[in-house]
A and B are shown apart, each in its own frame.
Chain A
């Protein structure tokens, strides 16, 4: 039995044990959605890290750097700006004004029913896109690393994620994310250190080797793509910077801490860990170039990676740390997927049970136990849907989906949430109009853009060249919210209560 299988089993057992423990602590709706508000700032910081850094951050970014050099690292830099924006603008008001979902915050001064519908739909769209990308990615990854059949892999991931959320709610999700974050940070740091030590801790020496062996040569040491598509670069930057502030599973984490101070602490720690990881991914990526170049077990002569480009980090771990490291990394990648999909499923289930069922259908008069039951049903339903969709997207290029999720979040949930907190003259119609237009335009323009129109649907040229369309859709959403609110004949709403701070 090799190390990879052993670590896989260990992760499964550990996370199930956590779920069992969490189940005993999940008695009511408050525990299910927010772990009773008992998560400390530091713990939440780790959980945020676990929630935000998917296997894509580890494997995907390394792969991107392996292929494109510095352009891949520029992506990581963009990601690192996301969490600071959350604390500057949203973390504290969210904690003080909201309860279980971000729609709670938006609803405070607006008509509840339309906002609940909008909030739930927007959340579910973002969550579903993200989930499908993760599930399809998980299927391939587990298939390649552990040799399991694609469908079996998806079923295992799906079954586990449903388990964590169904039985353990936010408590289980939080602790699975914490464990995953620790594993990912530790393994990432270890590989990076081992890599650097091969070059006597001289980053420059490593870069020197990298540019000597890479097909693009010294071009990998600076940005390349941006010059040929400046608007798309800016658009992507916008999406990376402001998208995190609209992702429901990230926003939800701020309801699990007891007060605003803990919310701040979470982001300081979370951002520190994540930024550390984004910085060290540069070592992983360039290290992979330098160390895998002449290794036929990892890289073919045409610079394609054995097993697919996402395996670059896995090969690197084997080269610097042997089979032990390889096994460990494989399990970490697996845990990474599980932690993120659990968070996504919980966010989606809350949108269904809290926004749609309890607040919209039952007008706020839902019996707590009923709401909890609906959450659990929603969890299973969403989990099954994610599995089916993941299987349907087998083999398809799903890389654009994460960017799409960010673009939609930037153009629907983020603008509405931000304006609802800070602009007293936002009206219900304005919020719904702006958010919906942002959501629709983000999806339509992405479908018409290079990622889908050309790469997936295989037409010759894209109808819209901007990719992602955030540069258009985000200002569009804000402007629409503003315009419609101004035109609206609804009475001016009261200013945001000063208790927001």
Chain B
């Protein structure tokens, strides 16, 4: 059973991780949008001479990939943290205990 302190430590850490990941992805996507609005010609330049792949594509694919990576990372870290703690009670009994009324 998790102690209250362990609970709060874990929940605080998980929230921080979630907020961090949100901030990173939002910044990357925000940068993509800002560049699109303010410097579209930069994005429209090809990455290499002779190639038609522009930096716009690179940025776009990078944002998509970043989302996949951060999602995996978050789940991985959360699973590791959870493994350090013993068997949590079932969600159902916890919900009922928490709200103290019949569902």
Contact = CB atoms under 8 A, between A and B. Distances in A.
Interface residues of A, number: 62
Nearest to A219: B44
Contacts of B22: 84-85, 88-89
Given A84-B21, A226-B36, A275-B64, A78 B71 contact: no
Interface string A264-299: 110110011001001100100000000000000000
Nearest to B59: A77
Contacts of B32: 74, 77
Interface stretch (A94-102, A310-318, A451-459): A94-102
Contact of A88 (B18, B51, B92, B103): B18
A230 interface: yes
A1 interface: no
A217 B67 CA distance: 31
B67 A264 contact: no
Interface residues of B, number: 61
A275 B36 contact: no
Nearest to A104: B95
A372 interface: no
B71 A87 contact: yes
Contact of A84 (B25, B91, B92): B25
A207 B8 contact: no
B15 to A, nearest CB: 7
A42 interface: no
B14 A259 contact: no
Contacts of B92: 99
Interface string A68-85: 001001101110110111
Given A96-B91, A108-B99, A265-B75, A222 B70 contact: no
Contact of B53 (A99, A204, A498): A204
B54 A222 contact: yes
Nearest to A69: B56
B40 A223 contact: yes
Interface string B35-50: 1111011011010000
Contact of A81 (B52, B56, B63, B79): B63
A92 interface: yes
Interface stretch (A122-130, A190-198, A233-241, A327-335): A233-241
A272 B94 contact: no
A221 B75 contact: no
B84 interface: no
A267 B37 contact: no
Interface of B: 4, 7-8, 10-11, 14-15, 17-19, 21-22, 25-26, 29-30, 32-38, 40-41, 43-44, 46, 51-54, 56-57, 60-61, 63-65, 67-68, 70-72, 74-75, 78-79, 82, 88, 90-92, 94-95, 97-99, 101-103
29 contacts: A76-B60, A76-B64, A87-B18, A88-B74, A92-B78, A96-B94, A208-B52, A211-B52, A221-B52, A221-B56, A222-B44, A223-B40, A223-B56, A226-B33, A226-B40, A233-B36, A233-B37, A237-B33, A241-B29, A265-B75, A268-B72, A278-B64, A279-B64, A365-B102, A497-B98, A499-B7, A499-B97, A500-B11, A501-B11
